[in-house]
Amino acid sequence: MYGAAQPVSEPEAHIAMALTFDDGPSPRYTPQLLDGLRERGVHATFFLVGEQVEEQAPLVLRMAKEGHQIGNHSFSHVDLTKCSDEEALRELQSCDLALRSVLGPGEYWVRPPYGSLGDAVCEAWHTPVICWSVDPKDWECRNTEQVVHHILGHAEDGSIVLLHDCYATSVAAALQVVDQLQAQGVEFMTVEELLSRKGGEAVPGKVYRKIG
């Protein structure tokens, strides 16, 4: 585990983790986050809500151009476990189409809203399903210091950290975490890069909460 006063003693171990951001893109806060990540040389993973993708197409294109991984967070951010399997698949397919309309062909990994997806839908879907291992509940507390403290206290090698780029407090927290952990030798990368680094296989329908 990490704490603010607990430096990583062996940076040569290539400790790595993934910062992920849900519910965007936010025209107000996502550009600030992208600026900060670019300054720090960090790639993250953004799980986007389909109904916001076309309206924010320039921002989505910027994410891709700057090397971030872009994923599918459903079209309208509904709880997919409260839908029929057919409705849940339509939600994912609609978001996938929205992403393709802006970014072109690609494999846009899924993160279901609330981290819940039925087994049958997982099995039917054609990409990995990405959940998380560190959740500071930034959407609830809206407190930068609290979010930073939680991440530093729980993140470890292979962690997938859940944040939301629609809150100023979360953007500030993410950049503070990067500054503190980069100084300790931690590397930040996309979920796809993290899986590749760890020698794992991207298995369609498999749920990933941590890598390695």
Q: What is the pLDDT of residues 42-71, one digit of tens each?
A: 999 999 999 999 899 999 999 999 999 999
Please tell me the pTM assigned to this model.
0.93
Is a pLDDT exceeding 60 seen at residue 1?
Answer: no
What is the per-residue pLDDT across 150-191, written as a single tens digit (0 to 9) for each?
Answer: 999 999 999 999 999 999 999 999 999 999 999 999 999 999
Tell me the two tokens of residue 145.
Answer: 């210091």
Percentage of the chain lying above the pLDDT 90 cut: 91
Of the residues 23, 73, 164, 165, only one is catalytic, namely 164
Sorting pLDDT into bands at 50, 70 and 90, what band is 12?
very low
Residue 4's pLDDT is: 42
Residue 76's pLDDT is: 96
What is the per-residue pLDDT across 79-92, written as a single tens digit (0 to 9) for each?
Answer: 999 999 999 999 99
Q: How far apart are CA 142 and CA 147, in angstroms?
A: 8
Has 138 been annotated as catalytic? no
Q: How far apart are CA 126 and CA 3, in angstroms?
A: 38
| Cβ–Cβ under 8 Å, residues 16 and 188 | yes
Sorting pLDDT into bands at 50, 70 and 90, what band is 212?
confident
Residue 2's pLDDT is: 43
Of the residues 14, 22, 79, 119, only one is catalytic, namely 22
| Cβ–Cβ under 8 Å, residues 20 and 69 | no
Q: How far apart are CA 180 and CA 32, in angstroms?
A: 19
Q: How far apart are CA 81 and CA 97, in angstroms?
A: 21
Residue 200's pLDDT is: 87
Q: How far apart are CA 17 and CA 156, in angstroms?
A: 7
Has 73 been annotated as catalytic? no
Tell me the two tokens of residue 199.
Answer: 């020698």
Residue 13's pLDDT is: 56
- Which whole number is the average pLDDT over 104-133? 96
Residue 210's pLDDT is: 96
